Amino acid sequence: MTKIKCPKCNSINVVEIIYGMPTETNKFSDKDIECGGCCIEPTSSTHKCKSCDYDWQDSESGPRTFFD
């Protein structure tokens, strides 16, 4: 589980957003993730709060894909 907190509501009920085709989900079966779809941009969000639905980018390496 991620230790990242939601910057909006401070919830720890946060999932990571992974981009790309969700065919390799086994790779992430032990994690709570959200599929961000195929369209990825440098400014795409990397995390999403399950409590308030807020999403934001919080990663030094930028958005991740299923193929990283």
Q: Is 34 exposed, middle or buried (0-12, 13-18, 19+ CB in 10 A)?
A: middle
Instruction: Verify binding: residue 25, Zn ion, rule CB under 5 A.
Output: no
Q: Can you tell me which of 31, 52, 67, 68 binds Zn ion, judged by CB under 5 A?
A: 52
Instruction: Verify binding: residue 17, Zn ion, rule CB under 5 A.
Output: no
- The three-class DSSP label of residue 64 is strand
> Which of residues 28 and 54 has its CB atom nearest to Zn ion in the complex?
54
Residues of this chain that bind Zn ion (CB under 5 A): 6, 8-9, 11, 49, 51-52, 54
